[in-house]
Every structure is written in structure tokens, then in C-alpha cells.
Amino acid sequence: MISTDDIAQAVAILRAGRLVAFPTETVYGLGADARNAGAIRRLFAAKGRPADHPVIVHLASADAMPEWASRVPAAAVTLADAFWPGPLTLVLPRAVHVLDLVTGGQETVALRVPSHPAAHQLLKAFGDGIVAPSANRFGRLSPTRADHVRAELGDAVDMILDGGPTDVGVESTIVDLSGDYPVLLRPGGISPAQLAAVLGAPPDAPNAASPRASGTLPSHYAPRTPLDVIEPDRLEACANQRAASGLSVAVLARRNAPPVRSGIAWHVISADAAVYARALYAMLRELDAGGYDRILVEAVPDSDAWLAVRDRLRRAAYREEE
């Protein structure tokens, strides 16, 4: 699908300080040369992202960690060995040369080695770090397909590498290793149980001293349509009630539609956590475009396998006022 010519063109665009969107195993990223301040400013403008939000540096291999981090703790080596290439981001003390635009002015830098073949080819051919936030407008749903990127960013992106739908579907797990203990900043493609299996204990929850992460803002990954997460046993009643008050309602549930009132569009999504995560953002985008007054999502289980999905649904649901 993606040719070596495409990769060569993408590298030339990045070297020219311009932007290339590319697939990773989690979501599509909007890439810029991690050493080019002008390119990163252009990236922030394309996303509409505030300049003090740090971005992840993507690398072809863990061997480049010492180039970007001033200290590589033993836990970083352990986690990199176990999960790279893959959907894990490590926050480490920054190397001196790392741009403030990359770190958001913090003393740490986020690093990740993605496993998607196109991402890997691009990073290898570019030969250096590529910063890549998710290729969406700030605060919106991350893109899991190339056409989502086009819809989000239009001409603000100079090239899109189309690698088809992404596999994991939610963003990488972020673990902060800059303090005394590993801290889980964002649940994602790698679960706490998987981390615990190699670290010996699960990572801590973030505290007041933990680095900021914009993906941990209360309202993020949000569709425009107001969205509510509803416990399974109240789902039909809630949908019926909203429809009775004249609202058009889309339901996203892990089971087939029971008899419900007209005015309710019942959509089924997988009951398997990995399959659900893969489909979630594309499904929310579709529902968001459907012109409904409300989206009601059936709450998902409170277990390790569902942690990342629960987290994204909670953030998609948050709204300051009705």
C-alpha cells in the first residue's frame, strides 16, 4: 500500500520542515522533524493545539533513547525490551538539546517506538526523531483511518501515508519513569497487568507532582454531539426517556437492540475489548456525523482489559454544561 517512493517523498517533506501524517498501530500521527522548531510550530498551528502541550518523540529503535533522554533508568530498558516496538510511551528526563516546544517546557521528554511497518519505515528512512501527536484537531477524536486525517486537517497536512485502519484504535499507554516510581499517565494499548508482569508491580496513579498530559485533561477525545455513558441496566430506559422528550438518540451498545421507541438508532459494537477499542473512534465519528441530539454509550466493564476504553469514554462524555 505504501511504496518506498512514498516513504522517500515523506522524508523529503519532513526534512523541508513540513508535515506528514502516518499510521501507527494505535492511531494516525501528525509528524514533524523533532529538531525543527519551525516545523513543530506549524504542527501546533495545524492541530490548533496550545504551544505548552508536550509531544511524543517517535524513534525507529530503543537504541536512540540515550540521544533524547539524559538518564535511562533500568525500568525504561525493561519496558522497552518487553513492549517496543509497540503501543507504549515512556516519559524520561530530557536530554539538554530537546526543544522546549517538544517538552512543553517541562524537564521530561516522551519517547515511543511504534510497531506499524509504515511508521517504522518512515522513522528508519528519516534517521532521527519525529514528533507526532494524534492527527486530529486539538481535543477531538483521534483518527484511525487516513480519511479521518483528511477530514480533520485538510490542506494543513502536506502528505498523508495511507496504511489502512489502525490496529489498536486507542492511543499508547504513557508511563512516567522520571520519578522514583513508574506512574501511569494515560491508559492505552498496554494494560497495567501487562506492565506489572514485567515491572513486578503495577504503575502508580498520577499525583500532583506528575507531569501534565493533555490526553489527561477532563474533556478530550470528544465528539461534538453530547455523549452520555449509561450503565447497562438503565440503557433502554434512558434511551426511551430521551426519545420521548423529542430528542433523536444514537445508542452504542455491546448487545443487539431490545424493542425501543422510534427515534432511537441502536448501534452494536463488539463485546471484546480489543475489537471494541479498534472500532471505537470510527464509530463515534460516524455517530457524530449522524446529526443526533444525543449519543448514549453503554458503560463498559470495570476491568483491566477495558481500562483504556473506559478512560476515553469518560473523557468523551465530559461536558461543562448541558
Candidates 26-34, 64-72, 262-270, 282-290; binding stretch for ligand TXA (CB under 6 A) = 26-34
Closest C-alpha among 51, 60, 240, 217 to residue 140: 217
At closest approach, how far in Å is the CB of 39 from ligand TXA?
15
287 near ligand TXA, judged by CB under 6 A: no
Secondary structure element (H or E) that encloses residue 319, with its range: none
What are the two backbone dihedrals, phi and then psi, of residue 37, each rounded to the nearest 5 degrees? -60, -40
In sequence order, the 6+-apart residues with CB closer than 8 A to the CB of 180 are none
| Residue numbers 48-67 binding ligand TXA by CB under 6 A | 53-56
| Interface region with Mg ion, contact rule CB under 5 A, candidates 38-46, 129-137, 240-248, 312-320 | 129-137
Q: How far apart are CA 44 and CA 155, in angstroms?
A: 14
Is residue 291 within 8 Å of 266, Cβ to Cβ? no
Task: For Mg ion, give the closer residue by CB, 296 or 309.
Answer: 309
Least distance between Mg ion and beta carbon 178 (Å): 21
Cβ-in-10-Å burial (0-12, 13-18, 19+) of 146 comes to: buried
Q: Which is nearer to ligand TXA, 109 or 160 (CB)?
A: 109
User: DSSP code of 97?
Assistant: T
Segment (H or E) for 41: helix 37-47
Binding to ligand TXA by CB under 6 A, coded x per residue (else -) over 144-173, reads ---------------------------xx-
134 is an interface residue for Mg ion by CB under 5 A: yes
Q: Which of 43, 46, 91, 235 binds ligand TXA (CB under 6 A)?
A: 91
Backbone angles phi and psi of 272, in degrees to 5: -95, 130
Residue 157: alpha-carbon gap to chain centroid: 18
- Residue of closest CB approach to Mg ion: 134
Q: Does 115 bind ligand TXA (CB under 6 A)?
A: no
Determine which residue in the list 9, 70, 78, 214 makes contact with ligand TXA, applying CB under 6 A.
214
Q: Where are the alpha helices (DSSP H) in 127-249?
A: 146-153, 192-199, 235-244
Taking the C-alpha atoms of residue 51 and residue 206, their distance in angstroms, rounded to an integer, is: 23
212 versus 267: smaller Cβ distance to ligand TXA: 212
Residues found near ligand TXA in the complex (CB under 6 A): 24, 26-27, 29, 53-56, 89, 91, 103, 106, 108-110, 112, 114, 132-134, 171-172, 174, 185, 211, 213-215
Residues found near Mg ion in the complex (CB under 5 A): 134
